[in-house]
Amino acid sequence: MHALRRTLTTRGASFAGSGLVLVLAGILLGQHDVTRIGVLLLALTGVSLLLVRRHGLHLEVTREVRPGRVAIDQRSVVTVRVRNSEGMPTPVLMAEDAIDYALGDRPRFVLPALRGGLTQEVQYTVRSHTRGVHHVGPLQVRVRDPFGLTLRTAAVSGRSEVVVLPRVVPLSAGRSLGSGIGSEGSIPHMVALHGEDDQTVREYRDGDDLRRIHWPATARTGDLMVRQEDRPAKRRAVVLLDSRAAGHGGSGRSGSFEWCVTTAASVVAHLVAGAHAVHLLSADAAEDTGTRHDDSLERALDSLARVRLGGDEAMSSVLHDASGLTGQGGLVVYVGGPLGDDDAHTLAALRQPGSTGVALVVEPGTFGGRGSRRRDPGATDAAEASAATLRASGWLATVVDAATEPAQAWSTAVSSTLAGAR
């Protein structure tokens, strides 16, 4: 009975109810004409039910999203192909593709009658103002009978996704962040001692260009030696993103977590453009260690598009895994909220002597809607305490509120004085 009520439209339910009443009234009053009208209404409703049920609606749906990875506010074109896999033709279908609310209103379109084996293609565009992985599908199809008494709805399986990358803003170059011994490359110690254009020598091999013979080394060793240019080593940079729910304030695009994601993406892109080998570390419960490690700009942006707020233990695993990357020095960047004393000291210890550490510590209480301009004394004190701990260990640290743009925060941090550096 419940399925019947869902199948009947308001008109269909009215026809069925009126027909039943007329049949009963005609029988009780002995009015055969009234009974015939009631029977006609019930028969019309029954025929409508048969009409919408005679089609199996065995459809195959495929989607193509181009491009599948987009920036915020960039449009993607979704191509939906619907194929009738039955032998008999389909009726005219009303279709609606289910999409995440962030991509806009659900697209609706009419599919004409399709003979067996034929395919109909439909295109529409989607756009999102927020980062994330947004889903498209499944396709909802509806078929009505010619009288509008019944409605049949079916969902055709199949989903696609649109990855919306976080916003990347340009950052100023500021002071040089290339100090430190951390580097990645074929022969990093040669670069550190002699510069990136230095050359090494090796024994001559058949086929080597005679113009590359290194005569001083040949005379010294007695063997024919040739020059070999080393591949320049890249300076290492480790970027840490704090995804603890307790470390952030506000929600949505106005929250501190989205500010940190945008800033982390901008920092990674900025350092990659500056010839750094960048490692982004963020919490990910799906990983065995609880930490996701991305060492390319493309993977880092994809990871930042998917990252979500987590528990308080998220930062501890990130700091633990970061120690293996920072042990040999290099630039360390922290983007996140205030830390507890233990985590703050653990983070401070990641910066090796002679290397640079940059920390952008947000004040969670200043983020989130109309109250974003008001400062929460407790959150401000915690942010200042974390920044003070890092400065005491030689970090370049600044406290950020909701009114601060990522480029401004980065410029303030990297331009500050290394009062405690050693």
Tell me the H-state helices in 124-255. 188-194, 215-221
Taking CA atoms, 85 is separated from 97, 119, 159, 344, in Å, by 19, 9, 19, 61
Structurally, how many domains does the chain consist of?
Answer: 3
**Is there a domain that residue 419 lies in?**
no
Where the chain has pLDDT below 50, the residues are 179-180, 186-198, 231, 370-374, 418-422
- Which domain-ending residue is among 117, 139, 165? 165
- Residue-number span of the structural domain to which 350 is assigned: 234-414
Residue 212 Cα distances to 38, 46, 194, 196, 324, angstroms: 103, 92, 19, 19, 39
Do 271 and 400 belong to one domain? yes
- pTM for the model stands at 0.75
SS3 content of the chain, % helix, strand, coil (to 5): 35, 30, 35
- The string of pLDDT tens digits covering residues 261-301 is 999 999 999 999 988 999 999 998 888 888 899 989 999 99
Instruction: Say yes or no: 19 and 75 in one domain.
Output: no
Residue 178 lies in a domain: no
348 and 243 belong to one structural domain: yes
Phi–psi pair at 288, nearest 5 degrees = -60, -40
Domain membership flag for residue 216: no
Q: Do strands 234-241 and 331-336 pair parallel, antiparallel, or not at all (unpaired)? A: parallel
Are both 138 and 153 inside the same structural domain? yes
Q: Is residue 274 located within the same domain as residue 398?
A: yes
| Cα separation, 267 vs 333, whole angstroms | 8
CA dihedral 362, 421, 276, 303 (to 10 degrees): -30
Would residue 346 count as lying in a domain? yes
Residue 371 shares a structural domain with residue 398: yes
Question: Is residue 185 situated within a structural domain?
Answer: no
Does 171 fall in a domain? no
106 close to 122: Cβ distance less than 8 angstroms: no
Tokens of 125: 């565009």
Whether 385 and 304 share a structural domain: yes
CATH number of the domain that residue 99 is part of: 2.60.40.10
Contact between residue 420 and residue 391 where contact means Cβ atoms under 8 Å apart? yes
Residue where a domain terminates, one of 165, 191, 217:
165
Residue where a domain stops, chosen among 107, 130, 165: 165
Residue 191 lies in a domain: no
Question: How confident is the model over 232-258, as pLDDT tens digits?
Answer: 567 889 999 999 999 999 888 889 999
- Interatomic CA distance for residues 51 and 37, integer angstroms: 21
Are 289 and 409 part of one and the same domain?
yes
94 and 11 part of one domain: no
Residue 220, exposed/middle/buried by CB under 10 A (0-12, 13-18, 19+)? exposed
H helices of 287-375, in order, are: 297-306, 314-326, 341-348
In this structure, what CATH number is given to the domain that contains residue 274?
Answer: 3.40.50.410
- Tell whether 144 and 253 lie within a shared domain: no
213 beta partners = 226
- Do residues 28 and 89 share a domain? no
In terms of domains, do 240 and 310 share one? yes
Looking at the domain assignment, is residue 422 inside a domain? Answer: no
